[in-house]
Amino acid sequence: MKKKMAVIGFGFMGVVHAKNILLNETLELCAIIDNRKNIFDGIEKTGNSGSLDLPVERLKQVPVYKSLEECVAKDKPDAVSICVPLFMHYELAKKALTLDLDVLLEKPFCPEIEQCQELIDLANEKNKILMVAHCIRFAPAWEFLADCIKDRRYGRLKLLSTTRMGGEPTWGVWQDEKIKKTCGGSLLDMLIHDIDFVNSCLGNSDDIKINLKSDEYWELCFGYNNDNTKVSIKGGFLHRHSVFASEYAATFECGSIRFNSLQPGVIHIGTDSGPELVNISGDLYSNELNYFSNCIESRKKPEKCMPHDSMKTIEICQKIRNSAPQ
Ligand SMILES: NC(=O)c1ccc[n+]([C@@H]2O[C@H](COP(=O)([O-])OP(=O)(O)OC[C@H]3O[C@@H](n4cnc5c(N)ncnc54)[C@H](O)[C@@H]3O)[C@@H](O)[C@H]2O)c1
């Protein structure tokens, strides 16, 4: 029997999760929970790349509730995908775990380390799956890079440079000045993706520096002295409506690999044998959802994206924020 999954928060990311649940063969989208009126208004303009070809008519047939309690009382789900603003992550994830539901929680985990730890403990106590949706871990181009770092097919990683930039968000909560202040700025909205990725591949950096900070633009340097590897993470918010792009360039002992999201589907490799192109396919958000659905089906912890790592990422972001020039 299909597992019943509800989406809480039907905004920019919620529509992507809802669409992918509809497409997943082992899940049933049993409910949408949002406290906003008229959640389908303007839906054709909502969502990021993952919301292309939204099955709007099918989504409109899904029961809509104003609260999780109401949804659980009427249509008990097995799991929820929580896609609400950061300041609501802790409260809603705690509520869902307390109600014995498995939880996929959008990144960033929670604003405070203590909140992250409490949710991890609660998930363990309740024997529930808790995964923070760090989608880059499921993006084919970044999985390729992670594999190259791990299996050293081009030798040891010497330098990794990533960039992630786009216009400051203009949708949903970002239109509310008070809530916007609780979102953690570009560090927790954008750079957290690269910080989490780097942390997952290279572990603890003993040397993190801020080379430049200008408003919501950051240039960070992570050093790994045990391996003599350097990582540069650059990015943040550009002027509203500027195009989004993420990019990496990685130099290993025997080759370099490059990717840019503006040219999706291809990774450029340069070695002594000459240039080479590797074609990649697959959508990060559906990969992420499929991985989570396998975890809830098999009752296996999300080894590829453990909540403890997501908490570590929050800890690193806090250290960076605290040492940033005001
Ligand atoms: N992984 C990614 O690529 C990515 C991209 C963008 C946003 N996000 C994350 O997704 C989350 C949501 O961001 P967004 O851009 O979709 O926000 P949004 O403002 O577009 O949507 C949030 C939705 O949550 C609803 N909501 C708020 N409080 C609620 C409550 N108590 N109960 C039910 N519904 C509630 C709002 O009405 C709104 O529809 C954030 O954590 C953000 O960091 C992730």
C-alpha 189 – ligand 1 centre gap (Å) = 12
- Delimit the domains of the chain by residue range: 3-133+286-305, 137-282
Q: Which CATH class is domain 3-133+286-305?
A: alpha beta
Residue of the CA atom closest to atom 25 of ligand 1? 9
Integer Cα distance of 85 and 65 in angstroms: 18
Between CA 229 and CA 238, with CA 234 as vertex, the angle to 5 degrees is 175
pLDDT of 25-60, one tens digit each?
999 999 999 999 999 988 877 766 556 788 899 999
In Å, how far from its chain's centre is CA 38? 27
**E strand or H helix at 312, and its extent?**
helix 307-323
What CATH superfamily classification does 137-282 receive?
Answer: Dihydrodipicolinate Reductase; domain 2 (3.30.360.10)
Task: Give the residue from 236, 277, 270, 276 showing the smallest Cα distance to 252.
Answer: 270
Q: What is the pLDDT of residue 8?
A: 98
Judge contact between 3 and 76, C-beta under 8 A.
Answer: no
Q: What is the pLDDT of residue 52?
A: 72
Q: Which residues of the chain have pLDDT under 50?
A: none
Tell me the residue length of the chain.
326
Q: What is the pLDDT of residue 176?
A: 84
Q: What is the pLDDT of residue 57?
A: 92
Integer Cα distance of 146 and 45 in angstroms: 33
Q: What would the two tokens of residue 51 be?
A: 């919301």
Q: What is the pLDDT of residue 235?
A: 98
Q: What is the pLDDT of residue 51?
A: 63
Q: Which of 106, 287, 305 to mutate to test the pocket of ligand 1 (most atoms within 8 A of CB)?
A: 106
Q: What is the pLDDT of residue 215?
A: 94
Integer Cα distance of 230 and 205 in angstroms: 10
Q: Is there an atom of ligand 1 within 6 Å of 77 CB?
A: no
Integer Cα distance of 241 and 159 in angstroms: 31
Q: What would the two tokens of residue 73 be?
A: 């009382």
C-alpha 133 – ligand 1 centre gap (Å) = 12
Number of the ligand 1 atom closest to the C-alpha atom of 134: 1
Integer Cα distance of 303 and 298 in angstroms: 12
Hey, which residues does 159 pair with through a beta bridge?
230, 251
Q: Which of 173, 261, 292 to mutate to test the pocket of ligand 1 (most atoms within 8 A of CB)?
A: 173
C-alpha 110 – ligand 1 centre gap (Å) = 13
